[in-house]
Amino acid sequence: MHLLTDIEAGKTLCLECEWLSDEDERTCTQCGARIHQRKPFSLLRTWSYTIAALLFLIPANLLPMMVITKLGIDEGNTILEGVIYFVRHGEMSIGIIIFIASIIVPLFKIAALFFLLLVAQLGITDQAKNGVRLFRLIERIGKWSLLDIFVVAIMIAMVQFQNLASVKAGGAAFAFGVAVFLTMMATEAFDPRLMFDKEKT
Amino acid sequence: MKREPFLYQSACKECGVVLSYDKSDTYHHYYCPRCGALVYASGERFIRVIIMALSALIAFFPTLFMPILTLEMADQTVSTTLLGVVRQIFNEGNPAIGLMVGMTGMMIPLLMMTLLLLMLIPLHFRQRPLHLRALFQIYSSLRRWGMAEVYLISIPVSMIKLDTMGDLSIDPGFYLFFYFLICFYIAVLWFNPDDLWHGDALAH
The answer to whether residue B201 scores a pLDDT higher than 60 is: no
> Given pLDDT bands bounded at 50, 70 and 90, which one contains residue A179?
very high
* Residue A74 burial (10 A CB sphere; 0-12, 13-18, 19+): exposed
B167 touches chain A (CB under 8 A): no
What is the amino acid identity at position B3?
Answer: R
**CA distances (Å), origin A156, targets A173, B2, B50, B69, B142:** 12, 58, 36, 13, 27
Question: Checking DSSP bridges between strand A160-161 and strand B7-11, what pairing results, if any?
Answer: unpaired
> Given pLDDT bands bounded at 50, 70 and 90, which one contains residue A1?
low
What is the rounded average pLDDT of the residues A20-29? 87
Cα separation of A189 and B36, whole Å? Answer: 21
- Beta carbons of A159 and B140 less than 8 Å apart: no
Q: How far is B57 from chain A (nearest CA, A)?
A: 22
Which tens digits make up the pLDDT trace of B155-191? 988 888 787 777 888 889 999 999 999 999 999 999 9
Residues forming beta bridges with residue A13, ordered by sequence position: A20
Q: Where in chain B are the domains?
A: 1-42, 44-191
Instruction: Give the pLDDT confidence score for residue B73 in this predicted structure.
Output: 77
What is the rounded average pLDDT of the residues B141-160? 89
Q: For residue B165, give the nearest of A133, A147, A165 by CB distance.
A: A165
Q: How far is A12 from chain B (nearest CA, A)?
A: 9
Which tens digits make up the pLDDT trace of B80-128? 888 889 998 888 888 888 999 999 999 999 999 999 999 999 988 888 8
The chain B residue lying nearest A195, using CA atoms, is B15
B78 touches chain A (CB under 8 A): yes
Q: In percent, how much of chain B has pLDDT > 90?
A: 28
Residues A61/A79, Cβ–Cβ less than 8 Å: yes
- Beta carbons of B13 and A98 less than 8 Å apart: no
What is the rounded average pLDDT of the residues B64-74? 85
Give the best residue of B32, B34, B80, B140 to mutate against chain A (max A CB count within 10 A). Answer: B34
Residue B127: in which H helix or E strand, if any? none
- Beta carbons of A157 and B89 less than 8 Å apart: yes
CA angle B104, B105, B111 (to 5 degrees): 70
A19 touches chain B (CB under 8 A): yes
B17 touches chain A (CB under 8 A): yes
A93 touches chain B (CB under 8 A): no
- Beta carbons of B157 and A97 less than 8 Å apart: yes
The chain A residue lying nearest B166, using CA atoms, is A159
Give the 3-state DSSP-derived string for A8-70, with helices as H, strands as E and coil as C. Answer: HHCEEECCCCCCEEECCCCECCCCCCECCCCCCCHHHHHHHHHHHHHHHHHHHHHCCCEEEEE
Give the best residue of A11, A13, A150, A181 to mutate against chain B (max B CB count within 10 A). Answer: A150
- Beta carbons of A94 and B137 less than 8 Å apart: no
Residues B121/B48, Cβ–Cβ less than 8 Å: no
Instruction: Give the pLDDT confidence score for residue B203 in this predicted structure.
Output: 46
Cα separation of A160 and B10, whole Å? Answer: 55
Which positions in chain B touch A6 (Cβ < 8 Å)?
Answer: 11, 16-18
> Can you tell me whether residue A158 is helix, strand or coil?
helix
The number of helix segments (H) and strand segments (E) in chain B equals 8, 7
A119 touches chain B (CB under 8 A): no
The chain B residue lying nearest A139, using CA atoms, is B144
Provide the 10 A C-beta neighbour count for residue A60: 26
Side-chain half-sphere CA neighbours of A71 within 13 A:
2
Measure CA of the first residue to CA of the last residue in chain B; give whole Å. Answer: 10
Residues forming beta bridges with residue B11, ordered by sequence position: B18
**CA distances (Å), origin A55, targets A45, A182, B133:** 16, 10, 38
